[in-house]
Amino acid sequence: MSLATTIVWSATAMGSVTAGLFFLRFWRDSRDRLFLVFALAFFVLSLNWLTLVAAPAATETHHFAYFIRLVAFILLLVGIVDKNRR
Amino acid sequence: MAEAVFALCALTSLACAALLLRSYRATRARLLLWSSVCFVGLALDNILLCIDLIVVPDIDLSLARALLALTSVLCINVGLIWDSK
């Protein structure tokens, strides 16, 4: 994992937090739970990228980061399906 | 086990992208378009992850994946800043 990859992943984590904050604001204004789910998912995604930056590629923790990513996408799927049913 | 997680990440992100694209086609809300573009990018990132870690493990595609993820997240941020009220 190069320095460039570390920098880009860190920037992506920051971007993800920003998106999460936007969705949190939308939830605060509308009380639509889809926005809350999106906010949580983007916060979890940022955790994924931060874990990838923090953990060296050879360790088990590195693969655990992808499990965190899976949790985020499952959250999103549940939120989107829930919204489509309402 | 790890391969299963990578594959599931790719599948769930593809499903998210497909559902968002379907919602955009129904509502024509621009924020949904930006979200769809973001999740298509994240789905491609996950597919590239599978290729990187399973198909060609001796080639490091982490920078390409990182740039794809950054572009995707930038897209949704552009949409949130530009097209949300």
Tens-digit pLDDT profile for residues A12-60 = 999 999 999 999 999 999 999 999 999 999 999 999 999 999 887 666 5
Q: How large is the ipTM? A: 0.87
Residues of A in CB contact (< 8 Å) with B are 1-2, 4-5, 8-9, 11-12, 15-16, 18-19, 22-23, 26, 49, 57, 63, 66-67, 69-70, 73-74, 76-77, 80-81, 84
Tens-digit pLDDT profile for residues A63-77 = 788 889 999 999 999
The SS3 call for residue B59 is coil
What does the block give as tokens for B9?
């990440």
d(C-alpha B69, C-alpha A11), whole Å: 10
Query: How far is residue B70 CA from its own chain's centroid?
Result: 10
At residue A26, the pLDDT reads 93
Q: Per-residue b/e over A42-54, b at no fewer than 16 CB within 10 Å?
A: bbbbbbbbbbbbe
What does residue B58 show for φ and ψ, rounded to 5 degrees?
Answer: -85, -10
In chain B, the percentage of residues whose pLDDT exceeds 70 is 98
**Residues contacting B27, CB < 8 A, separation 6+:** none
Tens-digit pLDDT profile for residues B35-53 = 999 999 999 999 998 888 8
CA quadruple B18, B20, B23, B24: dihedral positive or negative?
A: negative
The SS3 call for residue B25 is helix
What does the block give as tokens for B33?
């378009």
